């Protein structure tokens, strides 16, 4: 890696979101103006096309309509700008009823527009099968070819315009508000002077007493929310069951795969390949227990650092480190990162009522991408910064190459960019380390890899069990949910992991279970990412191939995009190759540990 440049060091360090590229404040009169413009532009398109059918018969007329639709989507969409602004504001203050009210009002306009304009994409999806080949072969429609292919694939599961409107109206109250209820309740909590996110970070403290105390505090909070979470999860499971029945989905996760442009068979191959190698994660935890001098590792301390990784990293240090890595990979990537820092696109530190965890979010290609962290100066916070910036980088590269239809990433590959950047940052941290520090970093990497691949596959299998049992029984008690949770966590951790009373409730704060079957993407993303990392390590010039993928968005299926890079993600063998990389790292880590401390330590 090259020496770090001074660009990021001298750039103004902003640690709060600057939302002024959207609006100056909550009172900005431009908010009302933007809503009026979104409504006007939407109904101009609706009025022009709602009573026409010629675009369903003539490919050239459809091309004209799609060009207009793309411009509307980019510039206005479903009240995009206003919804985005108040979404971000509510993430910063989840206990502010005024912000929630403004956000709900903005979404009411969004749903109104969505309901009235969705006739267009529904009609396009249901173009007569006999005519589809002619449309796909039309040169004027070539910029929209994969949009059409994917629309035709989804057509079988789409409802009538009236039925889709009903679903749009009820998704908020029947699903999203339930999820927000649990998240909001957790965001309000404090124990021992610490917020819930701070307590979750504290359970990784190297000091046994501190992490045990944090664990008890987390348990107390989760136990107090268990009744609410039980009602919430059953409600969203019921919502999903209804949606699947209405759309005719044969399995609970099928619509996720269809939306992600990923065959269920490919996802099943990945899940099966990982589950068959749960012996690797079990072996790692047995080794880690020995390295930490414990008979067993408690579930909540599975990510406790080993050795010298407890160094504190101030936020400025983290920025400099990520900047250094990006410079060595691709100068354009480093420039994009500088923009995130300089323009206030990262909100850094935890506060009460603020959302926990970390995420990267975007709306349209015209608006900035924003990242939220809960930075507490740990090594994991550095890699989280790198991870979330990977998502942001992905967004910005798509903006440079694709039109609005393709400004997105399918869930199946959404974690490739994030883990790609994250892994190179962690590798850089270890480059100049001594043997003991290197061992600590290798174990930190295994912590991440095991969590990202094996834990997330176990989580996916937990989700499958949740939906299956709910559909068989009609309702799941918190005790039953906890039992399923522990069964699936124990499957990947093995006998070296202990589960103290209270860990059966740790599903409560895991928000991904409410974003149905999303978690497989962490495993698939990292395993694919490892293949791309290998390409770049073999030849740094291959970074251009990586950038080509990161710029593709949804312009083609993941299968096709990766095939062009020489990667066949449809076979079980492909996924097993990635798992071999984990096994090699585990072998090297055990070998280094034994050379430093002996086999009986």
- How do residues 286-332 score in pLDDT, each as one tens digit? 999 999 999 999 999 999 888 865 678 999 999 999 999 999 999 99
Distance CA 170, CA 27 (A): 29
pLDDT band per the 50, 70, 90 thresholds, residue 71: very high
How far is Cα 226 from Cα 460, in angstroms, rounded to an integer?
21
**Per-residue pLDDT, 380:** 84
In whole numbers, what is the pLDDT of the chain averaged over residues?
92
Per-residue pLDDT averaged across 227-246, rounded?
A: 95
The enclosing domain of 547 has a CATH number of 1.10.1370.20
Q: Could you give the number of structural domains in the chain?
A: 1
Bridge partners of residue 371, in order along the sequence: 346, 360
Cα torsion angle, 54, 58, 64, 70, sign = positive
b/e code 58-70 from CB counts within 10 Å (16+ = b) = ebebbbebbeebb
Q: Give the C-alpha separation, 413 to 596, whole Å.
A: 38
Q: Is the pLDDT of residue 3 over 50?
A: no
Token digits for 320? 């400099």
E strand or H helix that includes residue 21? none
Whole-structure pTM value: 0.79
Q: What is the pLDDT of residues 429-440, one digit of tens each?
A: 888 678 888 898
The answer to whether residue 261 sits within a structural domain is yes
Is residue 81 within 8 A of residue 109, CB to CB? The reply is no
Structure confidence at residue 379 as a pLDDT band (50, 70, 90): confident
Residue 240 in domain: no
Q: Are 285 and 302 in contact (CB under 8 A)?
A: yes
Give the pair of three-digit tokens for residue 113: 């527009």
Rg (C-alpha) for the chain, rounded Å, is 24
Asked if residue 591 is part of any domain, the answer here is yes
Q: How long a stretch of residues is the chain?
A: 601
Looking at the predicted structure, is the pLDDT value of residue 524 above 80? yes
Let me know if residue 449 belongs to a domain: yes
Cβ-in-10-Å burial (0-12, 13-18, 19+) of 565 comes to middle
Please tell me the distance from the alpha carbon of residue 159 to that of residue 148, in angstroms, as a whole number.
17
Distance CA(257)–CA(280), nearest Å, equals: 27
Region of poorest pLDDT, from 70-84, 114-128, 153-167: 153-167
- Asked, for residue 173, whether it belongs to a domain, the answer is no
Other Cβ atoms closer than 10 A to 237? 23
- The answer to whether position 595 is within a domain reads yes
When pLDDT is averaged across residues 71-84 and rounded to a whole number, the result is 96
Q: What is the mean pLDDT of residues 82-106?
A: 96
Assign 365 to helix, strand or coil.
coil
Range of the domain at 294: 250-309+412-601
DSSP string for residues in 144-200: GHHHHHHHHHHGGG---HHHHHHHHHHHIIIIIHHHHHHHHHHHT-EETTEEHHHHH
Please name which of 268, 269, 270, 263 lies closest in space to residue 150, comparing C-alpha atoms.
263
DSSP line for 223-286: HHTHHHHHHHHHHHHHHHHHHHHHHT-SSTTHHHHHHTT--HHHHHHHHHHHHTTHHHHHHHHH
Burial class (CB in 10 A: 0-12, 13-18, 19+), 499: middle
Q: What's the confidence (pLDDT) of residue 413?
A: 86
Q: Is residue 435 part of a domain?
A: yes
List phi, psi (to 5°) of 346.
-125, 125
Q: Is 192 left (phi over 0), alpha (psi -120 to 50) or beta?
A: left
Does a structural domain hold residue 192?
A: no
């Amino acid at each position: 890696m090259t020496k770090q440049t001074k660009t990021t060091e001298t750039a103004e360090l902003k640690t709060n979101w600057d939302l002024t590229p959207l609006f100056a404040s909550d009172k900005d009169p431009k908010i009302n103006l933007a809503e009026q413009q979104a409504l006007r532009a939407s109904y101009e398109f609706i009025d022009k096309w709602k009573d026409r059918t010629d675009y369903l018969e003539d490919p050239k007329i459809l091309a004209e309509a799609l060009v207009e639709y793309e411009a509307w989507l980019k510039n206005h969409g479903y009240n995009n700008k206003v919804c985005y602004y108040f979404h971000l504001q509510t993430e910063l203050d989840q206990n502010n009823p005024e912000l929630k009210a403004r956000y709900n009002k903005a979404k009411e306009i969004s749903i109104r527009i969505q309901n009235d304009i969705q006739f267009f994409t529904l009609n396009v999806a249901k173009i007569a099968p006999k005519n589809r080949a002619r449309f796909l072969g039309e040169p004027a429609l070539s910029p929209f070819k994969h949009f059409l292919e994917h629309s035709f694939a989804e057509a079988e599961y789409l409802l009538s315009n009236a039925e889709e409107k009903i679903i749009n109206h009820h998704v908020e109250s029947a699903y999203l508000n339930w999820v927000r209820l649990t998240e909001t309740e957790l965001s309000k909590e404090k124990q021992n002077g610490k917020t819930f996110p701070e307590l979750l970070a504290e359970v990784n403290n190297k000091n046994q007493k501190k992490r045990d105390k944090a664990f008890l505090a987390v348990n107390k909070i989760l136990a107090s929310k268990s009744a609410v979470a039980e009602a919430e999860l059953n409600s969203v499971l019921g919502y999903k069951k209804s949606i699947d029945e209405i759309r005719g989905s044969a399995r609970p996760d099928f619509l996720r795969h269809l939306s992600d442009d990923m065959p269920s068979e490919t996802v099943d191959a990945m899940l099966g390949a990982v589950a068959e190698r749960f012996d690797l994660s079990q072996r790692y935890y047995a080794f880690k227990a020995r390295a930490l001098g414990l008979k067993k590792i408690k579930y909540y301390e599975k990510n406790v650092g080993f050795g010298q990784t407890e160094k504190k990293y101030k936020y400025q240090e983290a920025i400099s480190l990520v900047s250094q890595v990006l410079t060595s990979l691709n100068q354009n990537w480093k420039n994009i990162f500088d923009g995130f820092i300089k323009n206030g696109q990262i909100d850094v530190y935890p506060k009460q009522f603020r959302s926990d965890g970390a995420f990267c979010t975007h709306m349209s290609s015209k608006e900035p991408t924003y990242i939220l962290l809960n930075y507490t100066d740990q090594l994991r916070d550095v890699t989280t910064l790198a991870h979330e910036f990977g998502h942001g980088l992905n967004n910005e590269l798509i903006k440079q190459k694709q039109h609005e239809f393709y400004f997105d990433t399918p869930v199946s590959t959404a974690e490739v960019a994030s883990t790609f950047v994250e892994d190179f940052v962690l590798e850089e941290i270890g480059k100049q380390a001594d043997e003991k520090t290197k061992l600590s970093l290798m174990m930190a990497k295994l912590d991440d890899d095991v969590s990202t691949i094996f834990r997330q596959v176990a989580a996916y299998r937990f989700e499958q069990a949740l939906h299956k049992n709910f559909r068989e029984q009609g309702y799941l008690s918190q005790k039953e949910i906890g039992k399923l949770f522990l069964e699936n966590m124990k499957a990947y951790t093995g006998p070296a992991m202990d589960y103290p009373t209270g860990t059966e409730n740790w599903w409560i704060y895991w928000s991904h279970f409410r974003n149905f079957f999303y978690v497989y993407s962490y495993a698939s993303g990292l395993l694919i990412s490892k293949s791309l990392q290998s390409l770049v390590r073999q030849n740094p010039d291959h970074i251009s191939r990586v950038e080509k993928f990161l710029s593709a968005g949804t312009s083609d299926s993941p299968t096709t995009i990766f095939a062009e890079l020489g990667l066949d993600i449809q076979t079980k063998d492909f996924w097993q190759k990635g798992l071999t990389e984990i096994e090699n790292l585990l072998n090297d880590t055990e070998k280094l540990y034994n050379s430093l401390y002996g086999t009986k330590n």
